[in-house]
Structure 1
Amino acid sequence: MPGIDECLLEAMGLPGARGASVVEWTTGLALGTLGASPTNDHETTAVETAELARMAAEHTAFAPPANNGGEGGDGVKGPSVEDVLVTTPTSYHLLCFVDTTFDSSVFFHLWLDRDEGNLALARLRLQNLAERLVLG
């Protein structure tokens, strides 16, 4: 099972990939980065994307519906959101949450060129990387 560096290298092999990082969303700490950064500073990008990831993960609007009037949720530890997509005129930003055995507060950020990237392929591959990533 690959670690952070191997996963980032694999993510950067996707068509149109401009930059990739693994970020801890509660603190905004970049655990690993590779390639370019949209802000020209990986740490700033990590903090800014973590704000978006935290908002998506913590807001009840994105939580699964309650089970038979019970407490709600689907029993999954961590965010119920799988990924977040932001589009700009020139690029795609894909945030993919990583399910971990501890607190599940990690996500991949993949920055894709809009003309060269394949969003569907990137989403599937990033989800696969998130499932295989070994932290520790």
Structure 2
Amino acid sequence: MPGIDECLLEAMTLPGARGAAIVDWTSGLALGSVGASPNGDPEETATETAEVARSAAEYRAFTPGDGALDQQPGREGLQVEDLMLITRNGFHVIRFVETTFDSSVFLYLWLDRHSGNLALARMRLRDLSQRLVLV
């Protein structure tokens, strides 16, 4: 079971990986990061991606049913699994990490658009999020 550092290093083995982070989406703080950052500042990237993740998790358009965060703890109401943003030069993938405790963590991966494989990245992030050990 990989911890934060091992998880990030494994994410960086994906084709086209430029940077990765594990972020707390309630505070916007990076628990760890590796590689480059799209804006040159990993902490600013963590804050910005946390805003995107929080919006998707809280807005009912993305969480049909009873609402997104009304059913905490454990985020049982959160139905969003992945977020993908595609820019001219890259793929940005956010994968929510499900845990047995009240987790508000996601994996963020920035891929080069020309050499990255979005399908493979989604599958690998899903696997990493299931094996990640947060202590």
Fold shared, TM-score > 0.5 on shorter chain: yes
Unaligned segments of structure 1, at least 5 residues? none
Contact 1:2–1:133, Cα closer than 8 Å, also in 2: yes
Contact 2:16–2:111, Cα closer than 8 Å, also in 1: yes
Q: Once superposed, what is the RMSD of the aligned Cα atoms? A: 1.8
Contact 2:19–2:37, Cα closer than 8 Å, also in 1: yes
Instruction: Map 1:38-117 to 2 at 5 A.
Output: 38-65=38-65, 77=76, 79-117=78-116
Task: Answer yes or no: is 1:21 the counterpart of 2:21.
Answer: yes
What number of residue pairs does the alignment pair up? 130
CA–CA distance in structure 2, aligned partners of residues 78 and 97 of structure 1: 13
Q: TM-score, normalised by structure 1?
A: 0.90
Identity within the alignment, %: 64
CA–CA distance in structure 2, aligned partners of residues 79 and 30 of structure 1: 21
> 1:132 is matched with which residue?
131
Contact 2:2–2:133, Cα closer than 8 Å, also in 1: yes
Unaligned segments of structure 2, at least 5 residues? none
SS at match of 1:53: helix
Q: Which runs of 4+ in 1 moved over 6 A?
A: none
Instruction: Decide which structure has the larger Cα Rg and report it.
Output: 1
* Amino acid aligned to 1:116: S
> 1:10 is matched with which residue?
10
